[in-house]
Structure 1
Amino acid sequence: MKFHVLTLFPEMLLGFFESSIMAKAVQRGIIEYELVNIRDFALDKHKTCDDTPYGGGAGMLMLPGPLDAALQSVLGKRKPPDTGKTRVKKKPRKRKEGEPRVIYVTPSGKPFTQKTAIELSREQKLVFICGRYEGIDRRIIDKWVDDEISVGDFVLSSGEIAAQVVMDAVYRLVDGVISAESLTEESHTGGLLEYPQYTKPEVFDGMKVPSVLLSGNHERIRRWRLRERIAKTLAVRPDMIGAARLAGLLTEEAENCIADITRIQGECNGFD
């Protein structure tokens, strides 16, 4: 997989690609990347990449010209037929087979989920547009962007940070980056959150590792971990239980665990 990242501040992303598991994936040739500095495509001597928005309002907006030229350098020219008339875009563009998928990270995009990360991990090339200031000109989105993605219901000053969040969730799912076993029971896999983890020492600050994890009984450990996953999900993200049911992800064993935990909680609440 190759990431192309269009940014005004490429130095913000170097550490991400040159550290930890990502650096190893790059060294092994599983992941490739290109950092494209949008300022390199500005035409004036000051390398201007922003201006005031039409219609007024606070802040500055990224200019379409430099961003368009940067995208053309990555994707190749995609010019509409010259009809002599002003175009009004009504439908999102359709990506041709083999073209990189273009993503604009923005607070107004669709929520980013593990399902989306899995989908994106199957692509060969991803292009990220990192916005700044008040964002980017809508015409760039209409012309180039396949997905507008939000990493949460909040606003960041840096599109680079949001792009890193998406890339980090995606690249680790690419075959060969990390072991498949590490992915099978982590949070959001199978519609549940992850169970608690423990390591040495057996006793830390008076707190002991649950005895079941020291038993060597793999079936007991499996059942304990399932129950803990369900208990955590019910406590923190009960909405995920309903979504997992609708998706058919919950086994009969899981449903029995849910019923049992719910019953015990109900009895405790009634006692209180």
Structure 2
Amino acid sequence: MTTARDLAELVRLPAALSVPGDALAGAVAAGGPDRRTLPLAASSVCLYWAGMALNDYADRDLDAVERPERPIPSGRVSPTTALRLAGGLTAAALGLAACGGRRALAVAVPLAGTVWAYDLLAKPTPLGPVLMGSARALDVLLGGSADPRRALPAAAALGAHTVAVTALSRGEVHGSTPAVAGAALATTGAVATAVVARGVRPRRLLPGLATAALAASYAATVGRAQAEAVRTPDAVTVRRATGTGIRGMVPLQAALVAGGGAVAAALALTVAGPVLRAAAKGISPT
């Protein structure tokens, strides 16, 4: 019998804490959070969970060999249940996005399509990391759908980070290479530098300091794990770097929010980091 914990493992429940910051970063970049931000953040979470369920549905045969402990190959969740859950969560996500208006729904539809295309078609191909990065960028634009053009820099930063983490994550089972890990490390440095360059401006002392501190935290934490993967790109080290990269979304999002002038919101967002780290000890985010 499938339990609530089985479903929580299927959708990587705690990893969803890395998602609401996308909507917040997009909303701040587009002019500031408003009444639409909360339902749009909830829409993002539903799509993230849908993607995780769909990922395990698509990978069920491979997981039976490489990760038999996962919910589907272990027999705790049936493939049909996973697929239905993914469909239901996607429908819920689109319904929540509709609460944000026609512009939000116009972003949510291609975002949902990107999630499904990645899991069912593109994941094992060279386009996989690019499509995953596109999904994260669209997630930021969903939060910033009031003015997507202003949210583009934040979307690009989180999209680039996601491409690097996804490319490295392909070595979680059999290991990666120093070149792939090195590219991820270089991307982390470039993203952090770009965020600081955009967020630190004259006559904006507090937002600038907060942006610099949060971006440095992101670069140090994620970069250290990726540097270890450069030195030793075995499966264990790569899996650790991938988990750190997922958790690293939070300080990166917070740096972007602070750069937009919402320092209090950025500091509040950082609370998700320790919670995600603690929750990951019970349910793996990868």
- TM-score class normalised by the smaller sequence: under 0.3
When you count helix as a share of all residues, which structure comes out higher?
2
Name the structure with the higher strand share: 1
TM-score by length of 1: 0.25
Which structure has more RCO (C-alpha within 8 Å, separation ≥ 6)?
2
